[in-house]
Structure 1
């Protein structure tokens, strides 16, 4: 981004404001230079203050204020700095794209750069390292696998339809559990539905590894990939190849939030038409569905959620971790997508066919209850999740839903961050 405003053009009040921000920024930098690794939650949060002002200015179409705040953020932001500097850097990009209406173009560029550097080994290493230091993804895997195994218990032929972006990292533990079942080992057909180009490029390698692992475990196994879709809303019952004598399960991890809001009901109805024994749904706990109507509200929610996420990464990884930087860059793409891409103008065939309209567990519950009934997680599954969380640093916990809600919540420092649930027709 270019510094389009010159320092001399700032009036006296703006200079004072910038000086205050510079001062607070310098003190934050010093504390992180000393090795303390200042997390997001401390300090005086200059980044969120300036970012909020900028979002409000964009909403009000106040061009001189937008100009000044973008310039000031650009002076202070750094993707390699402390948590405030990172938040400033990644949200600045999205706000600049929103102000200049260049979101679509920027998102496509960021995605194509990510695709070029994406290999199976780098993706696998990133996912495994993240799972090692944080239960953010493994929580959903353990909860969903527990519900799947209980619902499919005793069935000889299983067909799991996996709609997620987890590169099949969920399935080795499920295959192990099937291999040690008391009765005959069932036949498992796994159909993986892929919409993201990034994932599509590594599916061949994944299928070979999955087949090899199933042989090792002695589980009769068939692996199918459906990857010709531009977006999940195009998925049909016929494409999934469900056979009459199979016990069907549908596993959705982080997938439904990438569906256009108006397509969600239709996809959930299609799931029902497959007659599944169980549907597992795991989503991050954030509501980005209000963007087209209320930019400031969506911005506030986006800032809240990613401040939590960046703080969690900061405390989980070493300061110089490459994996942390890659995860933060993934967030950068998502933030641009949420705040600066107008879905009404979107060309699905060139954008990877996915949006970023997450909803909270309570909102998903309302949608899913229209065609499904919730299945409570058993004590055994809850115990498995609690045992998982003990392997990680302090700050993680399990929260039960409120009275009229369903599922389980993973919390980080008492804030709900991921929701897991199970459903039946």
Structure 2
């Protein structure tokens, strides 16, 4: 069923919960043809539904964790350009990647336990870094924090402080505005939503009872467009049960409001709907088949967005086997393209991969947002927790929460092929993704997986940044 986002927006904008049935019957579409799963433009989506996964904290709390850390200098770009970071006489603010050179040198000094060099480089980075400067200054600021924590073995304490600050200042309204702005300027998150929704709709087409198990921290931003597509099926509208697995406290705090909005939106669409939340877990590895309450007459889809990387490396195989035991019609996996797993016992290699990935991310934010964007600053600050988690926390010893061990699409393909068979994304789904990317500025593209891999890649300036795949038993 080809359902244009413009038509959905127009039909549903003026609707009310009591008009859900009218909305469904007003669209005469053929059964089993393609459902377009493009999200609404952000302005239209704001009127219906929105939420966010991004952890934020107030700029007033920026130095909350700096008592035992070097005071980050709020140096202007012009001041930092007076320094020659590479020692070669070139100014540091001329795009010669001074931050990367200094940061890598500091990481090697920490690995070598060269205390004199560590102190010198940390001091130099502290003088040059600023969260309000150019891309190099920002990278220096956030990676300086992680390097200091690694050098002083204070990573766990810093991570907990950053988490606590983020949780205290998190609000649904500010989060909503942030995610909408991010989706407006970048397909980083919507790429995975569109591709996964397309695979789920095709796998569950014609089924009367659907059960989607959502293991992610995306706060259900993925599901409104899927509900709209279900509402336009020309046969009996299926019953949808959505089970959301939540582990992060920052997500738990807004799930009541998310639940109310989801139920209201389902009524608006005329889709019989049941919403369940599983929130008593410390980490996803504790999830069991029994807790999910899957019934024999339900067609099951398991949706994992940024979820598998938060599972301990040694527990991933068992979790994937548990997914198989559910008898799912499809399992969708979306992960960012970085390897913090195979390098986890080599600090320098892990640091270089982490720096490579976040340099891409920060440069993307710089190009997609305006220079003075508060949303960009919030997204950059959210990265600080992940960077500290990856580089300065011992995940092998810390069992209190989730890890941050990403793997590349090729690595996930190897793992998942041990239990599942890959599902090829249809041409219709690929077309929907391409149509999505046309909404954004030049630089974004869709790429097919290489040989012996599966799935689709979102690329930014020819660098793969997000991977999506679909699987079946």
TM over 0.5: yes
Q: Does 1:108 align with 2:160?
A: yes
Pairs within 5 Å for 1:167-182: 167-182=219-234
**1:266-290 deviation line (CA, Å, top 9, x unaligned):** 1000000000000000000000013
Deviation at 1:292, TM superposition (A): 3.6
Pick aligned residue for 1:356 from 390, 404, 428:
404
- Please give the residue correspondences for 1:59-208 in structure 2 after superposition, counting only pairs within 5 Å: 59-208=111-260
User: Is 1:24 paired with 2:91?
Assistant: yes
Contact 1:157 1:186 in 2 (8 A): yes
Which position in structure 2 is the counterpart of 1:373? 421
Distance 1:99 1:23 in 2: 29
**Unmatched tracts of structure 2, length 5 or more:** 1-65, 72-82
Once residues 100 and 23 of structure 1 are traced to their aligned partners in structure 2, the CA distance between those partners, rounded to angstroms, is: 31
Q: Is the 1:291–1:338 contact (alpha carbons within 8 Å) kept by the matching residues of 2?
A: no
Shift of 1:126: 1.4
Q: Give 1:323 shift.
A: 1.0
On the 8 A contact 1:21/1:46 being kept in 2, the answer is: no
Secondary structure of 1:344's aligned partner: coil
Aligned-residue Cα RMSD (Å) equals 1.6
Change over 3 Å in CA distance of 1:231–1:20 after alignment to 2: same
Structure with bigger helix share is 1
Which SS does the other structure have where 1:418 is aligned? strand
1:32 maps to what in 2?
none
State the Cα distance separating 1:122 from its structure 2 match: 1.6
Q: How far apart in 2 are the matches of 1:17 and 1:48?
A: 13
Contact 1:22/1:76 (CA < 8 Å) preserved in 2? no
The correspondence of residues 17-416 of structure 1 with structure 2, limited to 5 A, is: 20=87, 24-25=91-92, 27-28=93-94, 43-348=95-400, 353-416=401-464
Count of paired positions: 396
For residues 308 and 216 of structure 2, the distance between their equivalents in structure 1, rounded to whole angstroms, comes to 9
In the alignment, the residues of structure 1 paired with residue 164 and residue 218 of structure 2 have an alpha-carbon distance, to the nearest angstrom, of 20
CA distance in 2, matches of 1:120, 1:3: 32
Report deviation, 1:291: 4.6
State the TM-score, normalizing by the size of structure 2: 0.82
Change (3 A) 1:76 1:145: same
Q: Which runs of 4+ in 1 moved over 2 A?
A: 1-4, 16-23
Distance 1:119 1:329 in 2: 16
Q: Which residue of 2 aligns with 1:34?
A: none
